[in-house]
């Protein structure tokens, strides 16, 4: 293989001319393209950072609102519990009042039944006493005499 010095110099000159021509024609476009690309990347990075910051802000707002909602839920639960306790106390008081009224009615009914039973017993005793007295005296007693004797008997 032969190396010719002239071919090497012509190749170097061709490369230099090609480099200068390409630099004149393409250099501005390549630099512009690279700058635009860098600016686009910077813009996308800045946009991503902004979105991340927005997301963090939204997350903190969400957490704050969630905390408020939880607190409100606890308050509502406590209020509902208090209201339920009041309602149960009211129902128990009503039940006690009704029970008390029923007991009083039952006691009144018992007292009336007792009174009726005593009156009936007095009547029967009076009749028996009258029958016994008439058998003992062996005479006839009128109804007025009978009532008088019974009254006297019970007064004593």
Q: What CA–CA distance (Å, rounded) separates 147 from 31?
A: 142
Q: In whole angstroms, what is the distance from residue 39 CA to residue 1 CA? A: 51
What rounded mean pLDDT belongs to the chain?
Answer: 86
Task: Count Cβ atoms below 10 Å from residue 93 Cβ, excluding itself.
Answer: 10
The helix or strand, by DSSP H or E, that contains position 137, with its residue range, turns out to be helix 5-137
Name the more confident of 46 and 138. Answer: 46
pTM of this structure: 0.41
Residues 6+ apart with CB under 8 A from 130: 141, 146, 149, 150
Question: Residue 136: is its pLDDT beyond 80?
Answer: no
- How far apart, in Å, are the Cα atoms of 82 and each of 37, 74, 78, 79, 118? 66, 12, 6, 5, 53
DSSP state of 138: T
140-149: per-residue pLDDT in tens?
556 776 677 7
> Can you tell me which residue has the tokens 């903190």?
60
pLDDT digits (tens, 9 = 90+) for 106-127: 898 898 988 888 888 888 877 7
CA angle 43, 47, 48 (to 5 degrees): 120
**Cβ atoms of 115 and 107 closer than 8 Å:** no
Q: What is the DSSP string of 72-88?
A: HHHHHHHHHHHHHHHHH
How is the chain split into domains, by residue range? 5-155
Q: Copy the structure tokens of residue 124.
A: 């029967």
């Amino acid at each position: 293989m032969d190396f010719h010095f002239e071919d090497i110099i012509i190749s170097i000159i061709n490369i230099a001319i090609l480099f200068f021509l390409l630099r004149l024609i393409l250099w501005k476009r390549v630099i512009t393209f690279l700058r635009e690309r860098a600016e686009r990347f910077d813009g996308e990075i800045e946009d991503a950072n902004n979105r991340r910051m927005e997301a963090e802000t939204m997350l903190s707002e969400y957490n704050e609102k969630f905390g408020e909602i939880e607190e409100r839920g606890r308050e509502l639960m406590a209020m509902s519990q208090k209201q339920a306790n009041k309602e149960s106390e009211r129902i128990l008081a009503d039940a006690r009042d009704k029970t008390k009224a029923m007991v009083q009615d039952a006691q009144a009914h018992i007292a009336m039944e007792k009174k009726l039973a005593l009156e009936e017993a007095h009547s029967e005793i009076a009749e028996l006493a009258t029958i016994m007295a008439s058998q003992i005296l062996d005479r006839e007693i009128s109804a007025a005499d009978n009532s008088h004797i019974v009254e006297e008997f019970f007064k004593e």
